[in-house]
């Protein structure tokens, strides 16, 4: 899909926010990064802005020190890993996700999981869950579903694109939404994960949930 003029403006606006922040004011919008390696990171940036946060596009490990939380978007998890292995980025990211709020969607969910199947691969290992890659089929099997959720506001629209499946969760993982009996939106402490793409929906409840999590972490 070609990049539109508005999307280019969104990228520039978010990228301009990568300078080191001053002391955080309690009522200031949280600075939340979006890992801008692949996936629709511009859509995540827009969703964060609409949810009350200041988005920051993150492409270098040193930029992690300028943000309060991070979204790892969809894409191809193996490609993410190959890129992150450069310049010590993977090590910096491992440290960040252990101590700061992080939200992974689709491929981001795979990277956060403790165990990855079909096939097995390296991960960041902070979410007590087992995730099966490409469990819902190929690109042509993508779909839009509407399902119940623990979030306030009624059923939630969920966009699935080559989605993974969470096949097992630990006792401290809270399940916020399911599909066919499997979790699709979960939360564990400062970690959130979704097997769908909330950035592709007009519903901002999932992003607001993460923004609130980041705000609570300030305490």
pLDDT tens per residue, range 3-42: 333 444 444 444 444 344 445 676 899 999 999 998 899 9
| Helix or strand holding residue 182 (H, E) | strand 182-188
> In the annotation, is 118 catalytic?
no
141 vs 162, residue with greater confidence: 162
Hey, is 149 helix, strand or coil?
strand
Q: How far apart are the first and last CA of the chain?
A: 41
Scan for tokens 């190929």, then name that residue: 138
Q: Exactly one of 10, 44, 197, 207 is catalytic; name it.
A: 197
Whether 106 sits among the annotated catalytic residues: the reply is yes
CA pair distance 91, 103, nearest whole angstrom: 18
Cβ burial, residue 4 (10 Å; 0-12/13-18/19+)? exposed
Q: Is the pLDDT of residue 162 over 90?
A: no
**SS3 at position 180:** coil
Name the burial class of residue 1, with classes exposed (0-12), middle (13-18) and buried (19+) by CB atoms within 10 angstroms of its CB. Answer: exposed
What's the average model confidence in pLDDT over 46-59? 98
| pLDDT for residue 4 | 38
Q: How far apart are CA 145 and CA 81, in angstroms?
A: 29
pTM: 0.87
* Range 5-217 has CATH code 3.10.450.50: no
For 2-155, strand residue ranges (E) read 31-35, 54-58, 69-72, 102-105, 113-117, 127-132, 143-147
Give 100-146 pLDDT, tens digit per residue: 999 999 999 999 999 999 889 999 999 999 999 987 766 555 789 99
Q: Cβ atoms within 10 A of the Cβ of 124, count?
A: 23
pLDDT given for residue 44 in this prediction:
98
Distance between CA 38 and CA 174 in Å, rounded? 28
197 counts as catalytic: yes
Given the residues 63, 68, 132, 199, select the one marked as catalytic: 199
> Which residue is listed with tokens 């819902």?
136
143: Cβ contacts below 8 Å, ≥ 6 apart: 136, 159, 160
The catalytically annotated residue of 63, 68, 106, 132 is: 106
Describe the strand order of the beta sheet including 182-188 as a list of residue ranges: 54-58, 31-35, 69-72, 102-105, 191-194, 182-188, 174-179
Taking the C-alpha atoms of residue 2 and residue 13, their distance in angstroms, rounded to an integer, is 19
């Amino acid at each position: 899909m070609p990049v539109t003029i508005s999307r280019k403006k969104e990228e520039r606006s978010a990228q301009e926010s990568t300078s080191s922040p001053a002391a955080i004011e309690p009522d200031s919008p949280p600075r939340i990064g979006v890992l801008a390696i692949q996936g629709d990171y511009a859509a995540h940036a827009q969703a964060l802005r609409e949810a009350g946060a200041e988005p920051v596009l993150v492409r270098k490990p040193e930029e992690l020190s300028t943000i309060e939380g991070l979204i790892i978007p969809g894409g191809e998890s193996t490609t993410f890993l190959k890129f992150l292995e450069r310049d010590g980025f993977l090590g910096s990211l491992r440290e960040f996700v252990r101590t700061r709020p992080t939200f992974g969607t689709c491929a981001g969910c795979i990277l956060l999981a403790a165990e990855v199947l079909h096939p097995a691969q390296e991960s960041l290992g902070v979410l007590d869950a087992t995730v099966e890659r490409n469990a819902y089929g190929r690109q042509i099997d993508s779909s839009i579903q509407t399902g119940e959720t623990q979030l306030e506001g009624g059923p939630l629209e969920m966009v699935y694109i080559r989605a993974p499946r969470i096949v097992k969760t630990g006792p401290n993982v809270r399940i916020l939404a399911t599909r066919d009996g499997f979790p699709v939106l979960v939360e564990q402490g400062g970690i959130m994960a979704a097997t769908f793409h909330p950035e592709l929906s007009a519903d901002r409840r999932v992003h607001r949930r993460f923004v609130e999590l980041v705000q609570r972490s300030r305490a």
